[in-house]
Structure 1
């Protein structure tokens, strides 16, 4: 933003300028603003400007209802936990910009002064005086200024002698009123006149302090400081001192002159040390209207008689004066200081707090946090900034308008600030942070009972809701004071509490032996009255107590541990803790493979897989450090704006930046991550906007260092405060980091270059993913687990060549907090295609591998391998005989680049055809044969085409089947079937042979194998009574042919004594049918008239059937043996001592 410096050389100059501006016509809005000094905060100034028509004051608006959140204070540093908010007055008015001071002789008494106005937003009463004598339970005083109205900016003090003081702006200069009767009457003293004679000359943003240390060589000295706008010390911090209790004041001293800023100094704050040291700090604006960028300091060691040259105590910070907060109120980052004037171990320590955007030194992001620096050597050196508010960092929350106090009795620090950690973005609560160990550690807690919505006070300067809060403490009693509008109008509230004067341990260190788990704690402690012992906490649980300044224990379980050490005092009172974190065990990152290479043709992509393993005992938390985004971008030609409107917020993708005013801001260290082809909304918020303002955005898509592409035009919200548009990232955008320019201007013709009279230019970076992307790029992996990460190589937009990058993985692995992995991309014009002809074969077949290479040097070498392993070749097109599905990889090297590809050969199994073993069928003429493999094609030797056939034949016959599967693979099987005959074995009918004779039995079937019941193996045998004697003899034989078919034959031969019945009577007995199914006939060859006896016995000789005195008529007798089992039975006919025998075979 353009720096518009008004020198106000004289009232005449201003009046002439103003008259010129309005002589012929009404001035434009821009002309009006050019005639006001935006550095000045004072309401009196802005009310004057409004009367002149140069600005507009806050309108009357309805204030949103506050949300009650409770009056409990949750803190170990506080005696009681309930502290309801008490308004400092019940009279209709607004109370803002608070100042409070505790009587050093009576900590139940406190003097409060605020900017006071009528409730309806009328005239300004100025700095008023209100007081309590009962620890803020009730309040008295007046909402009017002491000795009449003034221009506000209150500063309250109380001396050790009981005199009360209120400082304020008076008649453009500085005034102080004092009272020796607790506010019943006041005496007004004009400390300094206005610094100049112009209507806008003003002594602004004053602070007054009193040396209230009893015994100080400069006890009750008063120091009053402010910024002179106008006069010889224009834009400088000046101070006047009173050595006689405010009745007279020394000559003005320029404190900030040695800073040599090109801007201005403002927001002075004064404090004194235990030996009368006097210190003043303030904000430095080197490039107004940018935010605060430094803090300056001046000091005196002789009661303010002389002051050393001013110097900067911290540089490279970024306040919030112009970049603002989400709440609807103007803000600042004026530093506030406290000095430990106690007699404790930290006596003399100087503490300074302010609000910073992001982390000091980095100064980016949407966090606004309260930070503290301290000095233990009277300001010669300072610590690194310490974050005061204790909510998680990086959440985009706002903590602002801090004020600090140091209890002169104990050195306990208390800081008040507004905070929206638990509210909506537009709301706020009052919070206090307390430290009992010299600011090393803090405990913060809510003190307001409500969450309220700040809203500018009607009738006052634009955005004004009070420019500072206040807090003061004495002998443990703490008075936080702030402004909120829960009642519908701005009112001052106090919510007192009492700190416990318990000295806390500090500088706690925790060291863990990773081999044994032994933890050693060491801390420091300055002692304190009533101290008894230390209490050791591990993860919130008490694990031990000790009186030593060290503690050791051995951990059993791996994990992360928070140790806290508190001091316990008499009465079991416990101090705030000193805290330290440690861990036993670690995650262990292992990445496989360890490096990645891709060879791609232009515009091609490749995805590989990365395995991240956690072989440790704790969760592995990894993220990628920005890689391509770390590279620098072109230095673009600078273009500047001017005037007082400026770009306040820029939002696109992950980028959200708050900024104050400058002509040109190079924010190229801030980047937005954008993907090709995706659409992104862009939002630009403008401060001090004018009607007709416009915003355009340029992108250097081709990275040629020039914004020559068509601009993205953003649309205004009709009030010109918010501009919104969209951009789609072109597919042809060059990957990597490049520039984005955001430009605000008025109705001027807007281009990417050349300076404009009005507006502002801000440059940023955008990062378009380049040739390498890892997805996901962050993750948490449990112990023993792993994560698959896509490694995406992308050659889009890249020229032929090689690209290399080492990506850094940031981990919580104790031994590998930074783990590097190499990635290489070769972009080449070599074209390689690989195939197999054919690509699918049947088992036992071959295929030829084919390569088609072009580009590169034209001379290539080949290297083939396979998966599964076993094949290597250096031929361009080898023939292979795979037995299983196989991937063939080939690397082709042209002398500089190796490119690889692969092809897969599918090997199909042959159909398995199993017709069975060759078979002989005895006495059968057919068999069913099945080729299996349902659903395939079939061909049999019989020309049949079904899966199953009925095979028929005689003798030995061959059958074959051919099966063709869906891949054309053929399976085959053959079977021989012998359709053989069963041998016929006929030994003849059972017969009777007379003793002494023999009979020849013939089994027939020459060439077969024989087995007789008498174990003979010849085709024929001769049988007689030589071995058996008379009686029935059974003979059987099993005949097996050469085909393996067999059959049995049986015969019963009865050997008889031929001198029996049959011989005498010449009778013969015939049994038929024989074999029989149980019923048979006994036939005789001649008639027998006399009765006979018939006996039938089984093979054991047991009689089973007997008939006596039977007359066989008609030469035949029917016998029924159906109830008997199969077998051979002997039949004997007896008559008159003679017998006739035979046998029957029962076979069913």
Structure 2
């Protein structure tokens, strides 16, 4: 009966199954439907093997790989010491396949390295997972196991070694994440599950350890991956371990803020020299497509909290769907490295990926490895740089890059597949290195063979491994990759040593400002291959010393940029520290040195500050910030008790990240704000609780107390951030004050009392309220100056005195900080100074007065002047300035002193000089010139020109009034004596007998006389005394009383009239008639030819007729007419050689 029942049950079941198959037989999924059930985003082999079992896809068949081609083990690179590096397999040939290579060198010893790969059997499944293989002899030999570290797993290996010697392998396990660790160098492993399967798969993981000795988070572990499924579907997530992988913290989403159009994948995590944590990944905005962008996230507190993620580069084009000529699936997930050395580029972040064409253009036949970097924690990034150095445009393919930085020297190494020298479907393994932070690269073949990638049997379609590996310590570089030279995929390592291009550091400079002698000293840890140092000045090589010092003498003042590098031969040269040396200095002078502004209520005022440079170099100055004497430093700390804490504050120009400290006061970088403005305050928290609150107080009056009401910040749903608005009001303290931020669970907390939980952070604020400066910085050339406007603003301020100190930051060696006191007096006391007139001519008076209004009503006046010399205590006073003068009136009402200034312009008088009074002798005209061209003129003659012709006779007065452009008039005058010459007449030349005398009278009584005889009387008597007979020329100069001279001359001929010499005469003379009516007949006879002179004179001796050189040849008759003379007695003289004859005649008409 039981048997019968059993058969009946089996028959029924078979019938049911048949019926079910018949029902669904026509509903078997087609290809489109099968594909719709596949998540093509997931890369993990376990997923695809499982889907193949479900009949939704297929795995790779077992296909024989083409034979590899041996190309040699030599490494040809100037940056590499190793010249021969044979490839070493990490496990016995034929034991298993390895792919997706991860390698990590022990930070304590470069000879030891841990390698992990996806491990499978040669023909396909089973999948062993992430294996563990290791070397203790620089990769010469390897040990370990093809089996999964800590047991079988789903692969995606990531190997790490801590500074404490613990080994780690990260992996996908059971669709989630696990990390195995070993404390006996791989002899035994303990696997710890980090996270379960989120729904579909925790895919494309990466693991990293902070292996920087001295890091605040040393040996912290960071496990990152993409959650497919669950609450963080399509997002990058992270867990960290702070206890060497024993336990793992809460999962954190990193990628939410990048807003990927589809999903985020391929994350890579690294740590910086100070414990910074960075994650980079691919963003897929348009799946299925190639990679579109790279996302980035960062943490500055050991992974406890993370900044919102952002895109570091957009518009790229990877290769995930476009593929490569080789027969293998590929991706363009970014790989990242951080320089954790102590070198010049410490802290730099480097990211590499594969791009089709130039990033941003994204077209072309080339597929290249590109690199970007950041030197500011990821805030900004460089333009992409091509890593592979073969010629562009050749249609070659370079892909699957992995990057590392040697923490001992900062050398960057990148491994990648490359087909530049082989056929399109083949590949070689290449490495590129850079010692200058990626600015330049050298690449070289590292594999001994070229090979033809062939998908690994039994694995996901096209799978030959999704990434390569490389790591370096102390110059030893471990490139790790998969190739199939053995007939199946295996991992190979080819260790080489880079030239340890260590750079000089700690460059110190000193300069003697008197002599220009500059001395450089530096430190250096010698690297292999070092030859000498190179010293550069302004990028010009000037010396190659071998000692760590250099001295030279500068000849010219200036700024000199010195850099010291280490040279290793060929093209190998380190980077180096640089410092600017200043020879000579600027020399600042500020005029005036102190400023006081009296400003009316709600008024403004601008004053000029003159900044002079009396030095030899350009003066560089900055007029902000201000540094008044406020009480900010005396604030009570009011610490919080911890647990929740503030991780980041953003306010104005301040972005401050911090770890927990019960109380902190951040003063180095004040928030710069202006009154009458509002600023958003954002406070990010860590480990916050639902009941937490966050308040902010502003010490707005700078009294050192938080007696103002708090600003209650709003929060997001999880209290991970708070935000609010801080209003900076008019009248808030000018200069430095403090803002306090408190996070706590105590809703009733105040600014000053300690709290049981939470944290307090104080921030310095720099408030510009009533004083501003334009410009607030500048450069002044030697010998030049610059005007800076000091703007005082009393808007909405109460009456009172406001003070501040402006500090000028300068490059003046003697005055790096230059303080200038500034005071603003705010009052309703107004004074107005006036003058009448404000423009005076030299010598004129002006009346000064001041009119006060407001204040107490009781005023004390004090007048002073510039130039000094004038004082008065009267409200109204007269002054006679001699030069342009500023009259300053200070009015003191007993509360405040207001000052006003009135400027008096003094104009010069025209200088008018017509000359000294003149006596013009025998002249009737004279030109007078009043000078002062362009002035106006008024002459006594009525003329209005600059010059006139003065005329007249006798004494005449002339004057002129000259008025210049300033309206100032000067009179000039002159007296001109148009004087006549004296009339001097001594008479006609006279002949007289020697016994006679003659009186000569010069006339012009009252004049002065000077005779040729030396006499100075009006008249003189002349005879032959002292002179004898003959001709005497007598002259006289007569000078009138006005100094006008005139002269005359007379010739006196004294004859010997005694007749003694007549017997010697050689002629005989007869005259008839006598008396005569005026006509004389003269008969002269001679014995021989004679020449005689005939002269006839009147009784006064005046010559009335004369004829000389009359020739007598025996006889001559002459008729002489004296019809023009008066009646009288005349004497006729006939003279010859040594004789004179004279005859008397009478003229009677």
The TM-score bracket by the shorter chain reads 0.5 to 0.7
> What residue is the counterpart of 2:278 in the other structure?
354
Structure 2 CA distance for aligned equivalents of residues 1057 and 581 of structure 1? 120
Q: 2:222 aligns with which of 252, 276, 282?
A: 282
Cα deviation for residue 352 of structure 1 reads 7.2
Cα deviation, residue 839, structure 1: 0.9
Shift, 1:990, TM fit = 1.6
Query: SS where residue 1119 of structure 2 aligns?
Result: helix
Q: Secondary structure at the match of 1:1087?
A: strand
Q: How big is each residue's C-alpha offset from its partner over 1:656-677, in whole Å with a ceiling of 9 and x where there is no partner?
A: 999xxxxxxxx99997878999
Aligned partners of 1:1067 and 1:331: how far apart in 2? Answer: 164
Partners of 1:207 and 1:270 within 8 A in 2: no
1:1041 aligns with 2:987: no
> Are 1:903 and 2:902 an aligned pair?
yes
**Counterpart of 1:209?**
159
Match of 2:1007 in 1: 1008
Instruction: Give 1:777 deviation, angstroms.
Output: 2.5
- 1:912–1:296 distance in 2 versus 1, CA, 3 Å: same
Distance 1:43 1:1001 in 2: 152
- Asked if 2 retains the 8 angstrom alpha-carbon contact of 1:99 and 1:469, the reply is yes
Q: Secondary structure at the match of 1:864?
A: strand
1:297 positional shift: 4.4
Q: Is the 8 A contact 1:599 1:827 kept in 2?
A: yes
Q: 1:935 to 1:101 in 2, by over 3 A?
A: closer
2:853 is the counterpart of 1:914: no
Q: CA deviation at 1:836?
A: 1.4
Instruction: Map Cα deviations across residues 406-457 of structure 1 (whole Å, 9 max, x no partner).
Output: xxxxxxxxx996338999978565687555358999741257899xxxxxxx
Q: 1:1024 offset after TM fit, Å?
A: 1.4
Describe the shift of the 1:614–1:535 C-alpha distance in structure 2 as closer, same or farther (beyond 3 A): same
Match of 2:270 among 320, 326, 336: 336
How much has 1:949 moved relative to structure 2? 3.6
Distance in 1 separating the partners of 2:383 and 2:765: 30
- 2:373 is aligned with 1:419: yes
CA RMSD of aligned residues (A): 7.3
1:184-203 counterparts in 2 under 5 A?
none
Alignment partner of 1:1115 out of 1109, 1113, 1120 = 1120
Aligned to 1:252: 192
Matches within 5 A, 1:615-654: 615=615, 621-627=620-626
Structure 1 residue corresponding to 2:1083, chosen from 1066, 1085, 1088: 1088
Normalising by the residue count of structure 1, what TM-score does the alignment of the two structures yield? 0.53
1:723-776 Cα distance to aligned partner (Å, 9 max, x none): xxxxxx99999999999xxxxxxxxxxxxxxxxxxxxxxxx9999964323333
1:817-858 Cα shifts (integer Å, max 9, x gaps): 544433222222222222210111122110111212222222
Note if contact 1:282-1:296 (Cα within 8 Å) is conserved in structure 2.
Answer: yes
User: Is the 1:320–1:332 Cα contact (8 Å) retained in structure 2?
Assistant: no
Contact 1:1011–1:1038 under 8 Å retained in 2: yes
Q: Does 1:269 align with 2:208?
A: yes
Deviation, structure 1 residue 928: 3.4
Distance 1:804 1:1034, change over 3 A: same
Gaps of 5+ in 2: 1-40, 52-74, 86-98, 197-203, 226-230, 280-295, 314-337, 355-368, 388-402, 413-433, 444-464, 482-491, 633-649, 658-665, 681-697, 702-707, 713-727, 739-762, 1096-1106, 1123-1131, 1145-1149
Q: Supply the distance in 2 between the matched residues of 1:671 and 1:631 (Cα, whole angstroms).
A: 17
SS at match of 2:622: strand
Contact 1:808 1:819 in 2 (8 A): yes
Distance (Å, rounded) in 1 between the aligned partners of 2:931 and 2:1027: 59
* Residue 189 of structure 2 is aligned to residue 239 of structure 1: no
Q: Residues 503 and 987 (structure 1 numbering): CA distance in 2 closer, same or farther, change over 3 Å?
A: closer
Structure 1 residue 859 displacement after superposition: 2.4
Tell me, in whole angstroms, the C-alpha distance in 2 between the residues paired with 1:563 and 1:1097.
Answer: 120
Change (3 A) 1:292 1:586: farther
* Offset of residue 880 of structure 1: 0.6
Give the whole-Å Cα distance in 1 for the aligned partners of 2:82 and 2:1093: 127
What do residues 578-603 of structure 1 show as CA deviations (whole Å, max 9, x unaligned)?
74747476746644244332222233
Distance 1:102 1:606, change over 3 A: closer
Match of 1:298 among 226, 242, 258: 242
Q: Name the TM-score, length of structure 2 as normaliser.
A: 0.53
Alignment partner of 1:1006: what SS?
Answer: coil
C-alpha deviation, 1:1015, in angstroms: 0.9
Take 2:1041 and 2:499, find their aligned partners in 1: how far apart are those partners? 120
Asked if structure 2 preserves the Cα contact closer than 8 Å seen for 1:447 and 1:495, the reply is no
Matched, 1:545 2:546: yes
Q: Aligned partners of 1:432 and 1:1131: how far apart in 2?
A: 147
| Residue in 1 that maps onto 2:320 | none
Deviation at residue 563 of structure 1 after TM alignment: 5.7
Q: How far apart, in 1, do the equivalents of 2:1120 and 2:941 lie?
A: 62
Write the distance in 1 (CA, Å) between the matches of 2:1002 and 2:493. Answer: 131
Distance 1:369 1:826, change over 3 A: farther
CA deviation after TM superposition for structure 1 residue 1066, in Å? 8.1
Stretches of structure 1 lacking an aligned partner (at least 5 in a row):
1-40, 52-72, 84-96, 114-126, 130-140, 165-177, 181-185, 194-202, 231-236, 257-264, 313-317, 339-348, 371-383, 404-414, 451-465, 483-493, 633-649, 659-666, 683-699, 709-728, 740-763, 1070-1082, 1118-1129, 1143-1148
Q: Report if aligned partners of 1:77, 1:575 keep a CA contact under 8 Å in 2.
A: no
Question: Are the equivalent residues in 2 in contact too, given 1:436–1:576 (CA < 8 A)?
Answer: no
Contact kept in structure 2, 1:594 and 1:821, CA below 8 Å: yes
How much does 1:472 deviate? Answer: 2.5
Match of 2:1141 in 1: 1139
Structure-1 residue corresponding to 2:408: 436
List per-residue Cα deviations over 1:117-166 (Å, max 9, x = no partner).
xxxxxxxxxx899xxxxxxxxxxx99xx975999xxx978644499x9xx
Q: Secondary structure at the match of 1:1018?
A: coil
Contact 2:254 2:297 in 1 (8 A): yes
1:608 maps to what in 2?
Answer: 608
Contact 1:448 1:495 in 2 (8 A): no
Q: Secondary structure at the match of 1:896?
A: coil
> Deviation string for 1:337-387 (max 9, x for gaps)?
69xxxxxxxxxx9987637999969999999999xxxxxxxxxxxxx9968
Closer/same/farther in 2, CA of residues 942 and 778 from structure 1, 3 Å limit:
closer
Q: Judging changes above 3 Å, is the alpha-carbon distance between structure 1 residues 325 and 1026 closer, same or farther for their aligned structure 2 residues?
A: farther
Q: Specify whether residues 111 and 445 from structure 1 end up closer, same or farther in structure 2 by C-alpha distance, changes over 3 A only.
A: same
**Structure with the greater relative contact order (CA < 8 A, sep ≥ 6): 1 or 2?**
1
CA distance in 1 between counterparts of 2:800 and 2:351 reads 53
Closer, same or farther: CA 960–1138 of 1 in aligned 2, 3 Å:
closer
Q: 1:882 to 1:1087 in 2, by over 3 A?
A: same
Correspondence 1:1050 to 2:1044: no
1:638 aligned residue: none
| Contact kept in structure 2, 1:327 and 1:426, CA below 8 Å | no
Structure 1 contact 536–564 (Cα < 8 Å) conserved = yes
Quick check: 1:156–1:208 contact (8 Å CA) kept in 2? no
Structure 1 residue 249 displacement after superposition: 7.3
CA-to-aligned-CA distance 1:593-648 (integer Å, 9 cap, x gap): 44332222233221221325464x7665443554499999xxxxxxxxxxxxxxxx
Would you say the 8 A contact 1:75–1:444 is kept in 2? no
Shift of 1:476: 5.4
Q: How many residues align?
A: 789
- CA displacement at 1:879 relative to structure 2: 0.6
Partner residue, 1:995: 994
Q: Is the 8 A contact 1:514 1:584 kept in 2?
A: no
TM-aligned CA distance change 1:322 to 1:1017, over 3 Å? farther
**Cα shift at 1:78:** 4.8
Alpha-carbon separation, structure 1, partners of 2:1137 and 2:783? 107
